[in-house]
Amino acid sequence: MNRIIGPEATKTATTSTTNSGLEVKWLTVDEESAGQRLDNFLIRHLKGVPKTHVYLIIRSGEVRVNKGRASADTRIETGDVVRLPPVRISDKVAEKAARPAPGREFPLLLEDDALMAIDKPAGVAVHGGSGVSFGVIEQLRQARPLAKLLELVHRLDRETSGILLVAKKRSALKHVQDQFRERETGKTYLALVQGQWPEKLKVIDSALHKFLLPDGERRVRVTSNEDPDGMRSITLVKVAERLEACTLLEVTIKTGRTHQIRVHLASQGHPIAGDDKYGDFEWNKALQKQGLKRMFLHAWRLQFTHPATGKRIELKSNLPPELQLYVNHVKSKSTPPSV
């Protein structure tokens, strides 16, 4: 059996009935939603509808903005009227939507009226999708039902730990995302890589190209800067500490491409420890036996201008205990015994 689902309750919604007897609804965009992409706006309002179907109804023209067709990346503005068609979903999907993500709070590095900065643990996705039912943002929304808005400012890979920014106001979201887009932020990671990193190799400026494996899984590879399908990607590398058979690096990204650090470092012959997509798989097996059970990539430092105060903010997240323990383990192996 299928069910009909429409937008969540809102004072700005109006309805009409189609020839099939199903309700079409219109939503008037308020100030808090202004500047949002159309696809994200719909995902928030069509609870439980798969993202693939959201994109389908956009492409088909069933979704309209001010009576005109619009694309998924259209930015909606205050006062825009969005037409939402009725969407059929299965009972199974409806039941899943009725069981929201378990509420969860995360360690805070900063919180005020505009922003939250959390210390994300490894192994937790930042949002649901691609086989993951829910992530950080869904759990935060469930834990804070009275929050008017909680939106991810940027993303981290599921396997990466560290600083993650969440906006509590639409104006703050746009302000900080503009800083990311204009490369006005400083995002520095700590990464442990195989071998001894060359001291002179401080800049990697290599385009990246996304592609899909036969099973549909996403991958990224280095390509030439002349490749029309490549995205220019810049990574700055500084040696933080040289250890036995590996190097701890401070890695600052000037562009925020998918898997950028992982692919750039691996392309130089120095893959990240524990990387199950681009790493040295035999080395990873040895690392697991030594106690490293995850990828050694941590979002360590973030610098940005606060959207409300205009002050320059610098946040730092210490290495998680499991990564620090492994560093200590490597150091103990390389320390000569006392006589």
Mean pLDDT calculated for residue range 210-234: 91
Band the pLDDT of 8: cuts 50, 70, 90: very low
260 neighbors 268 (Cβ within 8 angstroms): no
Strand pairing class (246-253; 186-194): antiparallel
- Domains, in order of start, for the chain: 2-98 (3.10.290.10), 108-334 (3.30.2350.10)
- What pLDDT, in 10s, does the model give residues 291-328? 999 999 999 999 999 999 999 999 999 999 999 999 99
Q: Which two tokens stand for residue 134?
A: 């829910």
Q: 280 an active-site residue? A: no
CA 178 – CA 175 distance, rounded (Å) = 5
In the three-class reduction of DSSP (H, G, I as helix; E, B as strand; rest coil), residue 45 is classed as helix
Band the pLDDT of 249: cuts 50, 70, 90: very high
- What pLDDT, in 10s, does the model give residues 87-118? 876 666 555 555 668 999 999 999 999 999 99
Share of residues in the chain with pLDDT > 90 (%): 70
Q: Write down the catalytic residue from 80, 157, 275, 280.
A: 157
User: For the purposes of burial, counting CB atoms within 10 Å of the CB of 128, is it exposed (0-12), middle (13-18) or buried (19 or more)?
Assistant: middle
For the chain, how big is the Rg over CA atoms in Å? 23
Mean pLDDT calculated for residue range 207-215: 92
Q: Which two tokens stand for residue 77?
A: 């503005």
Write down the pLDDT at residue 30: 85
pTM above 0.75, yes or no: yes
DSSP state of 231: B
Write down the pLDDT at residue 6: 52
Is 21 a residue whose pLDDT tops 50?
A: no
Q: Which two tokens stand for residue 187?
A: 């995002």
Write down the pLDDT at residue 98: 57
Write down the pLDDT at residue 133: 79
- What pLDDT, in 10s, does the model give residues 148-184? 899 999 999 999 999 999 999 989 999 999 999 999 9
CA 162 vs CA 83, 104, 117, 120, 214: distances in Å: 39, 17, 10, 5, 31
Write down the pLDDT at residue 197: 98
Contacting residues for 9 by C-beta, under 8 A, at least 6 apart:
none
In the three-class reduction of DSSP (H, G, I as helix; E, B as strand; rest coil), residue 8 is classed as coil
